[in-house]
Amino acid sequence: MTQYQKHCALPGRLVMVGFGSIGQGVLPLILRHIEIDRQNITIITADERGHGEADYFGIKFVKEPLTRQNYRAMLEPLLSKGDFLLNLSVDVSSTALVELCAERGALYLDTCIEPWPGGYTDPNLSPSMRSNYALREQALDLRGKLGTNAPTAVLTHGANPGLVSHFVKQALLNIAEDTGRDVTEVPAGREAWAKLAHDLGVKVIHIAERDTQVSSIPKKRGEFVNTWSIDGFISEGCQPAELGWGTHEATFPPDGIRHDFGCQAGIILNRPGVTQRVRTWTPMEGPFHGFLITHSEALSIPDYLTVRDADGKAIYRPTCHYAYHPCDDAVKSIHEFAGKNFVQQETQRLLMKEIIDGVDELGVLLAGHEKGAYWFGSQLTCSEARQLVEFNSATSLQVTVAALSGMIWAIENPDRGIVEADDMDFQRCLDICMPYLGPVVGAYTDWTPLDGRNKLFVEDVDTSDPWQFKNIRVV
């Protein structure tokens, strides 16, 4: 048997809430790399999925959905100082669990800020209040309330959001080095990173992902197929398209909406993310259209990288957003879903064992600097992922190893209060993740969103600056 390095020990208990594709994928990694007694682990989840795996590992499996009403009663007995709550569910309020953990002295990590059911699609809420901007601001408010040395609660630390914030830092360092800057000293703290991004002239950061995984079973009519949470994807896909709004942008989108509260790092568009495509690029795929699905890293990264003048006015911020090409079956699923006016399909299929081929090419594209555009990220094939860790696909492994690294960082730094990936030690997290990401590559490209435009039809483009969102947006 291979001996894996134990990165740290968790003497307390671990409660896993939710045991879908990410929960199932992370469990073997936790057992492999964190010193923990299996008997101290409890899974609380809403359905039978993964029950066989839990039995296989000898982990307690409780099928009892958490609700606004029962979550305290359910979780309080399982959490006290030194314990860990790993939230990998959908439809359970992240902030509710964070507050509870702070009260109990327990550590916390999730991979998405989730509201209670309906929070994403409550027609009584304005688009602004249904955005990730609002969810993030609520969590940041809580940070203030709980204090900066409350028990560590890591927000949104999967692949994206999560790992990609660390990729951005590594990419900034790589571009700095490749453009002849002195990088012997790694920027210490937010201001220094923002200064570096500003200095490099990075205008745009895409989380550019192309998932090429394919299944042996064709998508059926009335079925939503994806490589990770279908409920999660549909929820965020129905939220407003959302992006961090850069200081270089010359034209405000006609349907753009600013928020009347919070950090002002981002805006939303008056439409669901699943209906908005954007032009982006990855090394294996080349140029493609991704969907502008909202994600909290589209806010945390540009917020982190904002440079302000003495009056607090933002003088530099990159535009930042997700540009997601999900697996082909999900592209079809989205088309069907939009065609039914966003009434969710009756059935869903989360691709796991039936994936027969493909790569999840997930990284960050930093553009507008002197070398054009630079993509940095992971090109993990599904078959490599499976060889590396059982119960995973390429998509899940990028998330689960990032969650693992966040857990380890939290255990090692137990009193940091609420943090986002951007606030954490990127090098430590990357070190833990690297062995599980397949080829991690950096690639420059001279591609811009103006390539091949204005050929057969006159298009309204801004030729003075390729990296205007106006050029990136597909209309």
Ligand X SMILES: NC(=O)c1ccc[n+]([C@@H]2O[C@H](COP(=O)([O-])OP(=O)(O)OC[C@H]3O[C@@H](n4cnc5c(N)ncnc54)[C@H](O)[C@@H]3O)[C@@H](O)[C@H]2O)c1
Q: Alpha-carbon distance 210 to 223, whole Å?
A: 21
- Whole-number CA gyration radius for the chain: 21
Tokens at residue 89, please? Answer: 């569910």
32-40, 159-167, 272-280, 441-449 -> range binding ligand X (CB under 6 A): 159-167
CB closer to ligand X out of 27 and 278: 27
144 binds, among a copy of itself, ligand X, none (CB under 5 to 8 A by kind): none
Cβ at position 340, least distance to a copy of itself in Å: 6
Cβ at position 238, least distance to a copy of itself in Å: 6
194 near ligand X (CB under 6 A): no
90 binds, among a copy of itself, ligand X, none (CB under 5 to 8 A by kind): ligand X
Which residue is listed with tokens 């592209």?
331
Cβ at position 275, least distance to ligand X in Å: 19
Buried residues in 204-221 as b, exposed as e (16+ CB within 10 A):
bbbbbbbbbbbbeeebee
Cβ at position 419, least distance to ligand X in Å: 15
CB closer to a copy of itself out of 313 and 455: 455
Can you tell me whether residue 233 is helix, strand or coil?
helix
Q: Which amino acid type is present at position 463? A: T
- Binding mask 392-421 toward ligand X (x if CB under 6 A, else -) reads -------x----------------------
Q: Which amino acid type is present at position 360? A: D
Asked if omega into 435 is within 30° of 0 (cis), the reply is: no
Cβ at position 338, least distance to a copy of itself in Å: 6
19 near ligand X (CB under 6 A): yes
Q: Which amino acid type is present at position 260? A: D
Burial class (CB in 10 A: 0-12, 13-18, 19+), 370: exposed
Widest CA span in the chain: 66
Q: Which amino acid type is present at position 110? A: D
CB closer to a copy of itself out of 116 and 288: 288
Question: Which one of residues 44, 79, 293, 397 is an interface residue with ligand X (CB under 6 A)?
Answer: 44
Cβ at position 220, least distance to a copy of itself in Å: 8
Which residue is listed with tokens 């969710």?
344
Q: Alpha-carbon distance 367 to 470, whole Å?
A: 15
Q: Which residues bind a copy of itself (CB under 8 A)?
A: 121, 123, 127, 130, 212, 214-216, 218-219, 221, 238, 240, 270-272, 275, 279, 285-289, 325, 328, 331-332, 335-336, 338-343, 356-357, 451-453, 455-458, 474
CB closer to ligand X out of 21 and 215: 21
